[in-house]
Amino acid sequence: MVMAFIDLFKNTQNDEVEEELRGKIMKKLLAKYGRHFWIVSLSVTFYASYDFTYNEGDFFSILMLAVLTYVFFIERNGKLEE
């Protein structure tokens, strides 16, 4: 019983440390590559366009992703005012 509690306590501490490290890594990643995040959204928009053209995709997905890509692009270039 005591060993199970100790293992649970160790796992809790490890999880907290891992979450803290992930947070630091994500902040560094976004600080370094955040301005190019719109490219990820653009690639998904291209896939949705392909899916609409050759399969049974819907136009709303293309429209939504295109607007999202545009917002990410103008936000990172400092043209979006709040």
At residue 66, the pLDDT reads 94
Model confidence pTM above 0.85: no
The letter for the amino acid at 23 is G
Cβ–Cβ < 8 Å for 45, 69: yes
At residue 45, the pLDDT reads 94
At 53-78, the pLDDT tens digits run: 998 888 999 999 999 999 888 887 76
What distances in angstroms separate CA 18 from CA 22, 27, 29, 33, one per listed residue? 6, 14, 16, 22
